Structure 1
Amino acid sequence: MRNVADANLPAVVRVLVYSSDSDTRRQVIQALGKHPRPDLPPFEYLEIATAPVVVEQMDAGGIDLAVLDGEAAPAGGMGLAKQLKDELDDCPPILVLTGRADDAWLANWSRAEGTASHPIDPFQLTEAVAGVLQHRTAV
């Protein structure tokens, strides 16, 4: 199994966390923490509550991973993920938070590289993020 630390990752992983719910954003950041696994670099977070700001920040660059809440309103993370994948030439990897595990097929439609489901489970989210970051370096 490939070690994520061997991957071509930046010294600090900038993670965009989008949700219209501040509690969901807080849960994601707390679940992952500043250093989620020993084989990953430290994480730095950018919290965003609206879809237009997500598009603006992703377009500006400097984001290594986006975690988008599929349950956000009025713009859900799955539609936003699809838009970003369609519009950005070099879109960073995206992980979508689904309302339930059975909705993973929708996240696949959105072209997200990974999924995790509500309620936020720190272990599940950390493993999903590590998988997405491994996928990022494999392509």
Structure 2
Amino acid sequence: MSQTASSPTLKVLVYSDDVNTRSQVVLALGPRPHPDLPKVEYVEVATEPMVIEHMDGGSIDLAILDGEAVPAGGMGIARQLKDEIYNCPPVLVLTGRVEDAWLATWSRAEAAVPHPIDPLRLADVVVRLLRARAGVAAG
């Protein structure tokens, strides 16, 4: 879990080449997806090199990767992260359709949520992943 001077925060990386997709994710989750969790700080990125740079930095608690992003899709990036980063944080992939969830499994992502983004479904999955990362019991 990332630490700031005043209180703990969780850092969530949101990757998509589409600014609207990134905005939808951030708006769906808000600054605190659940009262049991610390505040969330979002790191929005639009390119694969920036995803790698932030993930290599070790301060990210959850990565949300758009599987429909171009030229580098989130599923391929997820698989690369899982191959290359020891103790990689959880990864959630946004898939093009519900039927693409099996591809997220191939990518080694811990979870998948389909487009169009359902804010309630996204929040449920993100809260589950962040609770595990932050060591917060479900309540």
CA RMSD of aligned residues (A): 1.4
The residue aligned with 1:29 is: 26
Residue among 44, 48, 52 paired with 1:47: 44
Q: Deviations over 1:34-68 (max 9, x none)?
A: 01111221110000000011011100110000000
CA–CA distance in 2 between the matches of 1:80 and 1:71?
A: 11
Q: Which residue of 2 aligns with 1:17?
A: 14
Q: Are the equivalent residues in 2 in contact too, given 1:113–1:135 (CA < 8 A)?
A: no
Q: Where in structure 1 are there 5+ consecutive unaligned residues?
A: 1-8
Q: TM-score, normalised by structure 2?
A: 0.88
Aligned residue among 74, 83, 89 for 1:86: 83
Aligned residue number for residue 110 of structure 1: 107
The answer to whether structure 1 residue 62 and structure 2 residue 24 are counterparts is no
Runs (4+) of structure 1 moved beyond 4 Å? none
% same residue: 60
SS of equivalent to 1:85: helix
> Which residue in 2 is equivalent to 1:131?
128
Contact 2:37 2:131 in 1 (8 A): no
Deviation at 1:121, TM superposition (A): 1.0
Secondary structure at the counterpart of residue 39 of structure 1:
coil
- CA–CA separation in structure 1 for the residues paired with 2:131 and 2:54: 23
**Cα distance in 2, alignment partners of residues 107 and 69 from structure 1:** 11
Quick check: 1:27–1:120 contact (8 Å CA) kept in 2? yes
**What is the aligned partner in structure 1 of residue 94 from structure 2?**
97
Q: Give the Cα–Cα distance (whole angstroms) in 1 for the partners of residues 66 and 91 of structure 2.
A: 11
